[in-house]
Amino acid sequence: MSTLAISVKDLSKKYGDRVAVSHANFEVPLGTVCGFVGPNGSGKTTTMRMLLGLISPTGGTGTILGEPINHPERYLNRVGAMIEGPAFYPALSGAENLRVLATLGGYETGQVQSLLERVGLGDRGDSKYKTYSLGMKQRLGIAAALLPNPQLLMLDEPTNGLDPAGIQEIRELLRSLASQGITVFISSHLLSEIEMISDSLVMLRKGKVIFAGKTQDLLERQQPTIIAKCLNTQDLPKLIQIAQSAGHSGSTIGEEAHILASADWAATLNTLAFQAGITLSQISPVLPSLEETFFEMTGDDE
């Protein structure tokens, strides 16, 4: 049996002359959470639709749970999906909506209450859908995706538009589903919203996979930086030299010196600058986000 939930090779999709996805290659091991990240329009939804057999690729191949994506009937009964926002009847309650979907899909209707509890809506199942907050709507969407008791859950932007508390709730829910053995493939246009729960990341930009690997590998490349400003900007090159003599590389960005060093070296830098007759008007240690780290690594700061 395959140990991969998703595997794609050179997967491509063109709409007329427009290339939406170009030669995508990545793998998602079973039992992991994989973040699928890219700006709006980078091809995430198109990729997910191909993986679910909703549209055909114009090139390349892929497998889901060991079965080829041109035979979705072989794996769809083991996959739960929420693509482009869940569609529910506003005037029906959450529980009624799930019962309708269960009946239509041929799933067990007796599991509705336990699914509502699983997504944290146990006591709101009888409220009308139209009274739900955005976060509750997303959680009901995830409950619907869980109806087939899936091995793989594919969610397109489930955190989109949520406030920080709502994002946190979805994160916790997905982590708990992953701890029950479900593989989670979740897209977001903001890496910061999902980096914490993702074991691995696939980053998409303009239809191309620009990073596919462990989140940890990106984290290890995060370089703490001290950002310093001189009262007299002409002192910037001298400040960089001082840092370099002490073994820390640095560069000038705008009117700031960016020096690769951890926060505890800031006091030393301040002292060395003072001894050299340089007055610093600002000195702040920062840890770049994974997004910044990635673009520093690739030199792509678009």
Q: Which stretch binds ligand ATP (CB under 6 A): 35-43, 191-199, 241-249, 259-267?
A: 35-43
Which residues does residue 117 pair with via DSSP β-bridges, in sequence order? Answer: none
Judge whether 116 and 77 are in contact, CB under 8 Å.
no
Q: Which is nearer to ligand ATP, 46 or 93 (CB)?
A: 46
Tell me the closest approach of the beta carbon of residue 100 to ligand ATP, in angstroms. Answer: 26
**Under rule CB under 6 A, which residues in 185-214 are in contact with ligand ATP?**
189
Tell me the closest approach of the beta carbon of residue 154 to ligand ATP, in angstroms. Answer: 12
Q: Which is nearer to ligand ATP, 20 or 212 (CB)?
A: 20
Q: Which stretch binds ligand ATP (CB under 6 A): 36-44, 124-132, 208-216, 218-226?
A: 36-44
Tell me the closest approach of the beta carbon of residue 43 to ligand ATP, in angstroms. Answer: 4
Tell me the closest approach of the beta carbon of residue 46 to ligand ATP, in angstroms. Answer: 3
Q: Which stretch binds ligand ATP (CB under 6 A): 38-46, 97-105, 195-203, 265-273?
A: 38-46
45 binds ligand ATP (CB under 6 A): yes
Query: What residues contact residue 15 under an 8 Å CB cut-off, 6+ apart?
Result: none
Q: Which stretch binds ligand ATP (CB under 6 A): 4-12, 43-51, 112-120, 255-263?
A: 43-51
Judge whether 64 and 73 are in contact, CB under 8 Å.
no
Q: Which of 3, 15, 263, 286 binds ligand ATP (CB under 6 A)?
A: 15
CA 149 to chain centre: 23
274 binds ligand ATP (CB under 6 A): no
Q: Which of 2, 3, 10, 41 binds ligand ATP (CB under 6 A)?
A: 41
Tell me the closest approach of the beta carbon of residue 162 to ligand ATP, in angstroms. Answer: 15
86 binds ligand ATP (CB under 6 A): no
Q: Which of 1, 40, 104, 164 binds ligand ATP (CB under 6 A)?
A: 40
Q: Which stretch binds ligand ATP (CB under 6 A): 14-22, 63-71, 239-247, 263-271?
A: 14-22
- The 161-190 contact track toward ligand ATP, x by CB under 6 A, reads ----------------------------x-
Q: Which is nearer to ligand ATP, 20 or 136 (CB)?
A: 20
Three-class SS string for the chain? CCCEEEEEEEEEEEECCEEEEEEEEEEEECCCEEEEECCCCCCHHHHHHHHCCCCCCCEEEEEECCEECCCHHHCHHHEEEECCCCCCCCCCEHHHHHHHHHHHHCCCHHHHHHHHHHCCCCCCCCCEHHHCCHHHHHHHHHHHHCCCCCCEEEEECCCCCCCHHHHHHHHHHHHHHHHCCCEEEEEECCHHHHCCCCCEEEEEECCEEEEEEEHHHHHHCCCCEEEEEECCHHHHHHHHHHHHHCCCCEEEECCEEEEECCHHHHHHHHHHHHHCCCCEEEEEEECCCHHHHHHHHHCCCC
Contacts with ligand ATP, residue ranges (CB under 6 A): 15, 18, 20, 38, 40-46, 189
